[in-house]
Amino acid sequence: ADPFQIDHSINVAAESIALAFQIPVSGQRRTELGLGALLHDIGMVFVSSQTAAKEGTLTVAEMSRILAHPRLGYALLQISSSSVWFISNHVALQHHELQDGQGYPCGLFGTNRIARSEQEMFDPERIVQIAAIAATFEALSTDRPRCAAPVALRPWGCAAS
């Protein structure tokens, strides 16, 4: 397994759980969120390690495969896990969705606001958004093959090594 991907998944899970404690999200939902965040990039098993680590511009075929990883991961989780893990499976599917509808794979629109009703706090889509925020933060704050993290977002403001 790719050490970068393992670290990334662990970090996204930890950040998701930390956010869930702040909101707060109930214990069972927090468990589902944590598991989903840990497995959010499971679809990357369908992307070659060469493509995942490639520096520079991806080909159309390589980019297409990367863009397919949320759907592929969701499908894998659907056939290999219990329906009890509904939120976990949806974290894999929706972790690249953006509030403005420009995300993938579904182009979902969100309602990014702080104030939420009690019912909305436990809505699975809202819980999935926590993992999307954590995954985005993790991607922005970590050096990756195609882009380095801005200095301000690196741990302790360290320069790239």
CA–CA distance, 132 with 134 (Å, rounded to integer): 5
pLDDT class for 154, splitting at 50, 70, 90?
Answer: very low
pLDDT (tens digit per residue) in 62-115: 999 999 999 999 999 988 876 667 888 989 999 888 878 888 888 887 765 445
Contact (CB, 8 A) for 101 and 109: yes
For residue 159, what are the CA distances in angstroms to 47, 141, 148?
30, 12, 10
pLDDT (tens digit per residue) in 108-152: 877 654 455 555 555 677 788 889 889 888 888 877 655 555 544
DSSP letters for 119-155: HHHT-HHHHHHHHHHHHHHHHHTS-BTTBPPPGGGSG
Q: Is the pTM of this model over 0.75?
A: yes
